[in-house]
Structure 1
Amino acid sequence: MRKETMAIFGLALAIVLCSCSVFSGMTVASGEKVVKFGGSTLGGDFGYPSPYAFYPRGMGYIYLSFCFDTLTWKDETGVIPWLADSWEMSDDGKAWTFHLHRGVKWHDGEAFTADDVKFTFDYMKEHPRPKWFKTLEYIDRVDALDEYTVVIHLKKPVADFLVTIAGDVPIIPEHIWSGVEDPKKFRGKEAVIGTGPFKLVEYNKEEGYYLWEANEGYFKGKPLVDKLISTKVSDTALALKTGDLDEASLWRKDTDVVTEFEANPKFKIIEGPGYWVLQLVFNCEKYPTNITEFRHAIAYAINRSEIIQKVVHGGAIPANPGILQPGTEWSNPDLPGYEYNVTRANEILDVLNFTDSNGDGIREYPNPTGEELEFELITIDKFSREAELIKSQLKEVGIRVNVKSMDKSTVDTILKGGNFLLAINGHGGCSYPDILEIPDWPASTYHNDSYDSIFDKQATTMDFEERKQLVYQLQAMITDDLPVYALYHPRRWAIYNPGKLDTWFYTKNGIAHGIPYELNKLVFIGAEAPATPMATATATPTSKPVPTPKPPGFGATLAIAGLLTVAYLFLRKRGR
């Protein structure tokens, strides 16, 4: 009987332990609100969310912003105060005085002061991260006048200062980072101690999994959610229906998913501008894509409308050839396009002496070898269908293209190294002129001194109308020189369960300097932000949806109790 007793209770204990093991990754107290987000553009690994380790793309910065704050921030209408309650700009636009919010604490309980702000800018100038915080090169010095007043002195005026510097640079704690000699290698819990609304609890690079918990002492008020989870799923629609996701970000060809959920009363949908562009990137240093007219011919040979209909099923709009999102205050609406025109493409190629001498349908280079006009088109897997369609379109004008798909980090590395002729790549930030600094980013093969001069001038022009005309000129030069051919701006949607959270919105001109997602941290805070002060002049991967761990409910507890009761009665009966 003793063996039977041990066996039965061992079975019961095993069931209890198995139930508990499901929840070992995250402890959820009764009544806690957990929000899980993901989708076709979210989920996956975007680096460790510290200022020097996040992946330098939009989602990497958003994850960073959950833990760290900036002097200013943005809501649905524009710039708002954040760590700074107010500010003034000097007459010459070269000094900004910030009055900091009092009583702000770092995640470890230490007080936030002006010394932290000064330290941040000094440290980041000493340890630059040019892939993201490039605008720090405009800073001359930073002075902490007292615990809650700081003055940022610039080498020259910066037109978008409140967005690209004050609203973008994460303030870091001096008492932690002052001892860090190599910030790129700095990891662990201390590396993500900020003043932000959330604290990082778990990060799994392989699974692309992030778990944050609310900072209950946040200076803007306790967040609306207790835990926040970013997770990767293979089927967004299924994950929403099963509750594995509470919110999903969708874009491009996700139109079928959007249509499906439009009729589902359990969910809401919001649509926002893309602030993102897919581009055909040319290497302007290598033959034959270093020939401007050759780039024009390729543009005329591409049918963007066909790409939008066949590949993304209407989930995009034809791009502004000047890169910036149509409808923003900076987008030039009067640019000539390269509307699909095979005849014009063939005429240009003929004039350039790329001819098909043997009649096999493929042109040859204009040299004695008669080598066929053939080269590689690289892209990431996500845009392989666009690449294949462009391949077929270019064949119509006698250009043979071989598509090579790879992961995004590899493509970025190849573009940065200039080891390509033609590539399909995309990026966000298409709502502000600063994205025009390097039109073919992350490549940098386009060189035009006149363009660089105009860009530098607009960046320091404080008058809006004067600056807008300069930005219009930049877009016209991009359209003429064509270092990239902008293909489309995607449409973007957020589908969410309002029963979990109903505060989702899209930020005007994107989060920070143009990140297009609906994951502004204000969504999770819920506090009404104060009005923007006026500036005044002064003398100074998985194979299936990843289920989110949930606490054992009453049903599970009752089942376990029932099993133990049965075991007890069985033993009593045997013992009679």
Structure 2
Amino acid sequence: MGKFDRARWTAASVVCVLLSCAPALALAQAEHAMALHGEPKYGPGFEHFDYVNPQAPTGGTLKMANVAASTFDSLHPFILRGTAAEGIGLIYDTLTERSLDEAFTEYGLIAESMEVADDNSQVRFNLREEARFHDGEPVTAEDVAWTFRALREDGHPQYRAYYQDVDRVEVVDDHTVVFHFANPGNAELPMILGQLPVLPEHYWAGRDFTSTTLEPPLGSGPYRVAEVDQGRRVVYERVDDYWAEDLPVKRGRHNIDRISYDYYRDGTVALQALKAGEYDLRQENVSRNWATAYDIPAVEEGLLQLEEIPHDRPAGMQGFFFNTRREIFSDPRVREALSYAFDFEWTNQNLFYGAYERTRSFFENSELAATGLPSEAELAVLEPYRDQLPERVFTEAYEPPSTEGGSLRRNLRKALTLLNEAGWQVEDGVLTNTQTGQPMAFEILLVSPSFERVVLPFKRNLERLGVEVTVRTVDPTQYQNRMDDFDFDMTVHVAPQSLSPGNEQRDFWSCEAADVNGSRNVAGLCDPVVDELVQKIIDAPNREALVTRARALDRVLQWTFIAIPNWYIDRFRVAYWDRFGRPPENPPYGLALDTWWVDPARAERVENR
């Protein structure tokens, strides 16, 4: 028997568990939805989400491009090894489905209803009997339990942190599964488990879950893998007899028959391919392109649309992240000093056409961001740690260095003052550690050549401080391997956030995650205060407490100087050939491409251009 076969419970085991656990089953009424705070927007009888067109036609194709990764070598997205193909999540269904017009509410998908214990000690998912995998086999509670164990034991390391507060999973019958919690204070945990992608145990029985694969996996979602050209192209086709097509959470969505992703190794080539009509739609992340690269007849004629779609999604933190595991970056004064060498104002004006705002918070563009001085509620959270935190956490509002109203020269003088305090002096033009004689030299690791134009001016500013900097751009596979092994000095990284931070914060910032290869604690941050604040966020009893605790954590992270903040934008910039219809309003918390459809008349006009 395989590893996970041995983990399956026998019928006798289930009976014993049911008997022993019966007194604790203080479950609330079965509900169609779960909201972290407040009430769900959509009631039990809702027919569809407001941001869809329930009469949307089906058919046609959507051709997309992948430039950021530029290659893939696996169709297995749940493990550390390999780079998974873009869009592979389309083939899987989860227990619940999140709406994009609410901060954090989930509605039943595979699970018809959910029952959360009054004391939040467990959650019961009642599965739909009609749920099916693509081979026609039913989705069962055994599949749910097997998936959970597979992800936690052999999946990507992030799952271990994500499911840390789950004590065990119990299969009650074919369509009922219960998760028991080790930490009842984690109010988000039922919803985290609702996001569990359910995999077919029978499919994986004879396969190695820890290995990459290019064999199209079996799923239960709205699409299946249709074509694979390793590293170049992957195509998904809509499942004609998709079991959930008429459920309220799916109605009006997944309207396009075939979705393909072509892989490009060069961003300039990919842009030219879009303008030539080789693919249909592109989210433009290069402000120079948005400002200058689309001056072509197709745009003037309205065939190629350029649209900025506002959103309310938290931006998180994009920045130059230090690897604090490196000795030269172990002193926060050094990290703070080097932040003065990044001139955002010059970069935004000369490279980005003034398109961006400066990031200053790890929860940027949300109410979770710490602004001004700490409120009384934030001080109440932070006060027990006063002796362990910099005084500035309590007395100053963090602002990243700026050259607005000043000059880079002034900022570099401040940097040298901090470096001198930390034991670094410029000797013969080289910044040198006064105790070890070690020169300050490090590498900035990149995966995208387009970022070189941003990093090279930063490099020149650092060299004015006597720092020896090399910039190295590597292919995506090498980059991912090096990042998984924390084999870098500094890199550009995005720490994403949601409106409902919780368990994932452990993977971002905890001491435990700092030592786990492949974790998202890129900086290697290990601070007992941060660990405790993360736990307070997880245990937040209501929205008000969550916001206060997130702001408290934000303040502490800001003053650790683990990243030099970059920039953000609160709009999706989308260039697309006018072949599509879409609902009149996009939801505030995502770009809902799965609500678009192919409009035959528009498509014909584009094709006859």
Shift of 1:197: 0.4
Q: Distance in 1 between matches of 2:283 and 2:294?
A: 14
Task: Tell whether 2:346 aligns with 1:306.
Answer: yes
Shift of 1:498: 4.2
State TM-score, norm by structure 2.
0.70
2:279 matched residue in structure 1: 245
Query: Does structure 1 retain, via aligned residues, the 8 Å contact 2:580–2:596?
Result: no
Query: Does structure 1 retain, via aligned residues, the 8 Å contact 2:582–2:597?
Result: no
Specify the SS of the correspondent of 2:471.
strand
**Equivalent residues in 2 for 1:255-274, closer than 5 Å:** 255-256=290-291, 260=295, 263-266=300-303, 267=305, 269-271=307-309, 272=311, 273=313
Query: Structure 1's 188 and 388: CA in aligned 2 closer, same or farther, altered over 3 A?
Result: closer
Q: Distance in 2 between matches of 1:94 and 1:324?
A: 29
Query: Structure 1's 188 and 64: CA in aligned 2 closer, same or farther, altered over 3 A?
Result: same
How well do the aligned residues superpose, as a CA RMSD in angstroms? 3.5
Q: Distance in 2 between matches of 1:393 and 1:228?
A: 44
Shift of 1:525: 12
Specify the SS of the correspondent of 2:282.
strand
Query: Does structure 2 retain, via aligned residues, the 8 Å contact 1:376–1:402?
Result: yes
Query: Structure 1's 132 and 498: CA in aligned 2 closer, same or farther, altered over 3 A?
Result: farther
Shift of 1:120: 1.8
Shift of 1:162: 5.3
Q: Distance in 2 between matches of 1:64 and 1:201?
A: 11
1:128 matched residue in structure 2: 155
Query: Structure 1's 220 and 62: CA in aligned 2 closer, same or farther, altered over 3 A?
Result: farther
Task: Tell whether 2:222 aligns with 1:197.
Answer: yes
Shift of 1:212: 0.9
**Equivalent residues in 2 for 1:262-301, closer than 5 Å:** 263-266=300-303, 267=305, 269-271=307-309, 272=311, 273=313, 275=315, 277-301=317-341
Q: Distance in 2 between matches of 1:368 and 1:445?
A: 23
Task: Tell whether 2:189 aligns with 1:161.
Answer: yes
Shift of 1:92: 1.8
Q: Name the aligned partner's letter for residue 548 of structure 2.
A: Q
Specify the SS of the correspondent of 1:175.
helix
Shift of 1:452: 0.8
Query: Structure 1's 241 and 420: CA in aligned 2 closer, same or farther, altered over 3 A?
Result: closer
Identity %: 18
**Equivalent residues in 2 for 1:208-247, closer than 5 Å:** 209-221=233-245, 223-233=254-264, 234-247=268-281
2:443 matched residue in structure 1: 376
Query: Structure 1's 504 and 482: CA in aligned 2 closer, same or farther, altered over 3 A?
Result: farther
State TM-score, norm by structure 1.
0.74
Shift of 1:268: 5.4
2:164 matched residue in structure 1: 137
Shift of 1:316: 3.2
Q: Distance in 2 between matches of 1:113 and 1:445?
A: 39
Q: Name the aligned partner's letter for residue 74 of structure 2.
A: Y
1:425 matched residue in structure 2: 493
Shift of 1:508: 5.2
Q: Which has the higher contact order (CA 8 A, sep 6+)?
A: 1
Q: Name the aligned partner's letter for residue 345 of structure 1.
A: A
Shift of 1:100: 2.5
Q: Distance in 1 between matches of 2:355 and 2:573?
A: 10
Which 5+ residue runs of structure 2 have no aligned equivalent? 1-57, 247-253, 373-396, 403-410, 515-519
Aligned pair count?
480
Query: Does structure 1 retain, via aligned residues, the 8 Å contact 2:141–2:175?
Result: yes
Alignment partner of 1:497 out of 535, 558, 577: 577
Query: Structure 1's 240 and 403: CA in aligned 2 closer, same or farther, altered over 3 A?
Result: closer
Task: Tell whether 2:439 aligns with 1:414.
Answer: no
Query: Structure 1's 100 and 49: CA in aligned 2 closer, same or farther, altered over 3 A?
Result: same
Which 5+ residue runs of structure 1 have no aligned equivalent? 1-30, 511-517, 527-549, 555-576
Query: Does structure 2 retain, via aligned residues, the 8 Å contact 1:416–1:442?
Result: no
Query: Structure 1's 264 and 248: CA in aligned 2 closer, same or farther, altered over 3 A?
Result: farther
Specify the SS of the correspondent of 2:398.
coil
Q: Distance in 2 between matches of 1:232 and 1:503?
A: 29
Q: Name the aligned partner's letter for residue 582 of structure 2.
A: D
1:332 matched residue in structure 2: 370
1:466 matched residue in structure 2: 545
Q: Distance in 2 between matches of 1:151 and 1:332?
A: 37
Q: Distance in 2 between matches of 1:525 and 1:139?
A: 43
Q: Distance in 2 between matches of 1:265 and 1:281?
A: 41
Query: Structure 1's 386 and 468: CA in aligned 2 closer, same or farther, altered over 3 A?
Result: same
Shift of 1:497: 3.2
Query: Structure 1's 67 and 432: CA in aligned 2 closer, same or farther, altered over 3 A?
Result: same
Q: Distance in 2 between matches of 1:310 and 1:319?
A: 18
